[in-house]
Amino acid sequence: MNLLKNIDTKRVLLHVSFWLFFLLFYISNKKQEVSTYDYTFVYSWKILAQAVAGYGLIYWIIPQTLNKKKYLLFTALTLGWLYVVFAILITFKYYYLEPKFPGFFDDWPGHKMTIPERLTSLKLIIGEFYFITYPIIIMGFISFNRKQQRLLRVEEEKKSMELKMLKNQLNPHFLFNTLNNLYVLTLKKDDKAPEVIEKLSEILDFVLYRCNEGYVSIEKEIAMIENYISLEKLRYSENRLAISFHKEIQESNKISPLILLTFIENAFKHGVINETKKAVIRMDLVSKKKQIFFSIKNTKSQEDFESISDKSKIGLENIRKQLNLLYPNKHQLHIEETTNSYSVQLYLLV
């Protein structure tokens, strides 16, 4: 009973339908003077030989040899297996089918040959190999196509899970920084705190709900960036920070949410927090037909001689992984760091 439960009924019916199709195809091409019963009976055995050869090749030989890159063994076993099936079919024809249906095989090329002659006739072997193998080629193509579809589904699931993990690494970091902003203002009992809460609410809505979408409009991404910039600007006076965000939307495009945020966070973290003089951040975002270009450049504190911190490196590595998953061969990321500045240029094909 357990064995029957494990049988995929739909799959079995598809395979049965496949071979019935070939049987009907053979019958439709029979000569009028030949009995339909005789023709069906004979070709049922031939189809059985094709099926044995096909399933042995696809479910035994290929997994054990070709999938393991044992090409020489695959060739030897394939030829050997096909010859075994050929030999059994020829022997069955000689001792059973031909006596049972006299005259049916009169036009068959090997009809007048003895068994040893049939089993060693190169012309007969090639002819029967062709007959046995052409349904196998179709089966192999279908099997390969199904396997590729399964691999694509697995790859998509893996990609989706990996993206969720990467975003889970990113979002808490973003929220932590934003809450820190609010914490500083509440300690000072600053009147700007309600505005921060409003901006934070909008950002949380974006992070918690919009980020679950694969892609968002560039306008929504810009709105989130502007909210973030507004929160950061509340922390610094105009004497501490000069920031510009130039946007040029020639055509609306879709973009993966938060893909630009790590670069902006790093600009504030390394360009403003440790800067004793006035920090400068310049951002440009251009969206045109099937293309998005983003650049950001910030000054660096002269007292901060160290390169990017480990956390920032993790964030950048996170973004690189996301870009490779979301925009494979469709992005260019250029990062340049000098003693005085840090700049990022990102080009996306969407």
Is the same domain home to 92 and 199? no
d(CA 35, CA 39) in angstroms, rounded, equals 6
- Closest-CA residue to 97 (of 63, 131, 48): 48
Contacts of 192 (CB under 8 A, 6+ apart): 185, 234
* Structural domain span for residue 8: 2-120
Is the same domain home to 318 and 206? yes
- pLDDT value, residue 1: 45
- pLDDT value, residue 174: 58
Is the same domain home to 108 and 48? yes
Is the same domain home to 54 and 197? no
Measured over the CA atoms of residue 43, residue 46, residue 50 and residue 55, the dihedral's sign is: positive
Contacts of 91 (CB under 8 A, 6+ apart): 115
Per-residue b or e along 169-191, where b marks 16 or more CB atoms closer than 10 Å to that residue's CB:
ebbebbeebbeebbeebeeeeee
Is the same domain home to 109 and 171? no
Strand boundaries in the chain, DSSP class E: 216-217, 241-249, 254-255, 279-288, 291-299, 331-337, 341-349
Q: What is the CATH number of the domain that holds 319?
A: 3.30.565.10
Residue 336 covered by a domain: yes
Residue 231 covered by a domain: yes
What's CA 142's distance to the chain center, in Å?
20
Report how far apart, in Å, the C-alpha atoms of 267 and of each of 65, 245, 258, 282 are: 54, 13, 15, 9
Is the same domain home to 304 and 201? yes
Residues of the chain where predicted confidence (pLDDT) is lower than 50: 1-4, 305, 307
Angle, in degrees to the nearest 10, between helices 261-271 and 122-187: 40
Residue 146 covered by a domain: no
Residue 164 covered by a domain: yes
Residue 132 covered by a domain: no
- pLDDT value, residue 153: 67
- pLDDT value, residue 103: 77
- pLDDT value, residue 292: 96
Strand boundaries in 53-119, DSSP class E: none
Is the same domain home to 81 and 216? no
Structure tokens at 105: 């095989």
Structure tokens at 305: 């001689």
Residue 138 covered by a domain: no
Residue 292 covered by a domain: yes
Measured over the CA atoms of residue 190, residue 239, residue 268 and residue 329, the dihedral's sign is: positive
d(CA 65, CA 80) in angstroms, rounded, equals 14
CB atoms within 10 A of CB 292: 23
- pLDDT value, residue 72: 92
d(CA 301, CA 277) in angstroms, rounded, equals 8
- Domain total for the chain? 2
Any bridge partners for residue 334, and if so which? 345
What confidence tens digit (pLDDT) does each residue in 170-196 have? 556 556 766 776 787 788 777 777 887
Is the same domain home to 206 and 99? no
Residue 297 covered by a domain: yes
